[in-house]
Amino acid sequence: MSTAVVLVIFTVINEQLSVLLIERAAAPHSGQWALPGGLLRGGESLDGAAARKLADETGVSDVYLEQLFTFDHIPESQAEVVVSYFALVDVTRARLRSELEWRPAWHPARNLPPLAFDNERILAYAEQRLRNKLEYTNVVYSLLPRKFSLTEMQRVYEAILAEPMDKRNFRRRMVGLGIVRETGQTAKTGAHRPAMLYEFASREPMIL
């Protein structure tokens, strides 16, 4: 039985949740956009294939990566079974391939062109999983730099949830959960007073 992995790679750009898509250069669906993925190589594990594709497309490997769901009956897919993963990447660290064929590009997740292989279904599942994980994990560590302000962190949450959050309640919850801590450093942006910089207590997945 042939098996493929497909990756939903999320980032935040200009305060919008964005996803990495590949412009297909061959049939089927030549010229259409699709999620990155491919067939397993001989002797390769599912997790290994997902990590390989993530590194190939973004140049990073030490980020949040999780198996999402197994899909079958994907229209026109070469694989009988497609195992999906989702990953979270800080866009400032990602280095996309520069090839003109099979061109990668970031797209706002809520304003996408029609996707090949019924990829909208996989993407919708990944978005829902990500929103749910904000309630009980620290997964946003993978979308932020090492040091950040709580305002920057709140904007990431708002980009994922597509709705504003109360600033005071957000700060109280994040600090109270113990997933972030002050660094003792500040940063100034524009005319605003310097903002305290924070860091994650752990840059590994945690259940809150």
pLDDT for 105-159, tens place per residue?
999 999 899 999 989 999 999 999 999 999 999 999 999 999 999 999 999 999 9
d(CA 44, CA 179): 35
Query: Which CATH fold would you assign to the domain 140-200?
Result: Arc Repressor Mutant, subunit A (1.10.10)
**Structural tokens at position 60:** 């990073």
C-alpha dihedral sign at 37, 33, 140, 128: negative
pLDDT 10s digits, 31-45: 999 999 999 998 999
Reported confidence tier of residue 75, pLDDT bands at 50, 70, 90: confident
pTM: 0.94
Q: What distance in Å separates the CA atoms of residue 185 and residue 194, rounded to the nearest whole number?
A: 9
Q: Residue-wise over 112-145: b if at least 16 C-beta within 10 A, else e?
A: eeebbbbbeebbebbbebbeebeeebbbbbbbbe
Top-tier CATH class for 3-133:
alpha beta
> Is the CB of residue 100 less than 8 Å from the CB of residue 164?
no
Instruction: Tell me the domain boundaries of the chain.
Output: 3-133, 140-200
